[in-house]
Chain A
Amino acid sequence: QVQLQESGPGLVKPSETLSLTCGVSGYFISGAYYWGWVRQPPGKGLEWIGSVHRSGNTYYNASLTSRLTMSVDTSKNQFSLQLSSVTATDTAIYYCARIVAAAATKGFDYWGQGTLVTVSS
Chain B
Amino acid sequence: QTVVTQEPSFSVSPGGTVTLTCGLTSGSVSTTSYSSWYQQTPGQAPRTLIYSTNIRSSGVPDRFSGSILGNKAALTITGAQADDESEYHCALYLGSGIWVFGGGTKLTVL
Contacts and interface: CB of A to CB of B under 8 A. Distances in A.
A109 B51 contact: yes
A100 interface: yes
Interface size on B, as a range, is 20 to 34
Contacts of B48: 107-111
B10 interface: no
Q: Is the interface of A mostly helix, strand, loop or mixed?
A: strand
A108 B38 contact: yes
Nearest to B101: A46
B57 A109 contact: yes
Interface in A71-121: 95, 100-101, 104-114
A86 to B, nearest CB: 21
Nearest to B53: A107
A38 interface: yes
Contacts of A95: 45-46
A31 interface: no
B1 to A, nearest CB: 9
Nearest to B31: A104
Interface in A53-87: 59, 61-62
B55 interface: yes
Given A45-B103, A48-B91, A59-B98, A100 B45 contact: no
Nearest to A58: B97
B100 interface: yes
Given A46-B46, A48-B100, A110-B48, 20 more contacts: A38-B101, A44-B103, A45-B89, A45-B103, A48-B98, A48-B101, A62-B98, A95-B45, A104-B52, A105-B52, A106-B51, A106-B52, A107-B36, A107-B51, A107-B52, A107-B55, A107-B91, A108-B38, A109-B48, A111-B46
